[in-house]
Amino acid sequence: MKTLILTLVTLSLAFFIGCQENSITDPVVNAPVNKDQAAAPDKYFQGTIPLEGALDDPYPVINSFYRITGQIEYRFRIYIADPIPPAPQRYLSVRFETNADLYNVCTVCPPSFEDELAGFIAEVSEEQIPLSGEHFTQIEKTFSIQGREDGMVLKVRLLVINDRIELNAMWLALPNANTIATEINHY
């Protein structure tokens, strides 16, 4: 009888230990887990890029320049559309508000603050851009110049670096002209 009771106690202890959750496979958590991360507000970054400098005339005219004055205000956030590894898809959602004036600079007459207004840029745009790199991404953006009949545009190359956007290059181009800027154009 003593052996039967001892066997029943051993079996019941084995049963309770076997039914208990295994703590060896539980994840180790050093910080509190926020299970409602989807409800967290998005973090937006914003700033202003000044557009100041002299730009070469895209027409083949020697010593002809344009002076640009203005700015690009931006607001952006980086989000992950598909967070599943091995290749999460990251996107940049950005809003540009651009206001700038373009003046024709006379190179054969003395400099004047009253140079001829050659056009202006007043544009608001929103874009979703896929990100490829981890540390920075390059964006090329084209802005139409209003007040011109030849279709001249301002092209800018921007770098997205962590929490800001920087101007890398800017140049003027004509429609159907395959100009590539290799450096900042008189900027």
How confident is the model over 134-145, as pLDDT tens digits? 667 888 999 999
Sign of the C-alpha dihedral, residues 128, 133, 135, 136?
negative
Residue 9 lies in a domain: no
Q: How far is CA 70 from the centre of its chain?
A: 21
Confidence tier at 38 by pLDDT (50, 70, 90): very low
Residue 126 lies in a domain: yes
pLDDT at 178: 53
- Spatial separation of the C-alpha atoms in residues 21 and 10, rounded to whole Å: 19
Q: How far is CA 96 from the centre of its chain?
A: 11
- Spatial separation of the C-alpha atoms in residues 85 and 90, rounded to whole Å: 12
Task: Indicate yes or no: pTM above 0.85.
Answer: no
Bridge partners (DSSP) of residue 149 are none
pLDDT at 72: 95
Residue 90 lies in a domain: yes
Q: How many domains does the chain have?
A: 1
Q: What is the mean pLDDT of the chain?
A: 77
Tokens of 145: 């110049």
> Are the beta carbons of 69 and 55 closer than 8 angstroms?
no
Confidence tier at 113 by pLDDT (50, 70, 90): low
- Spatial separation of the C-alpha atoms in residues 66 and 172, rounded to whole Å: 9
pLDDT at 19: 63
Bridge partners (DSSP) of residue 14 are none
Which structural domain, as residue segments, surrounds residue 132?
A: 44-187
pLDDT at 169: 94
Does pLDDT of 68 surpass 80? yes
Residue 5 lies in a domain: no
What are the residue ranges of helices labelled H in 47-133? none
Residue 180 lies in a domain: yes
Residue 169 lies in a domain: yes
Residue 16 lies in a domain: no
Does pLDDT of 90 surpass 90? no
pLDDT at 13: 65
Residue 38 lies in a domain: no
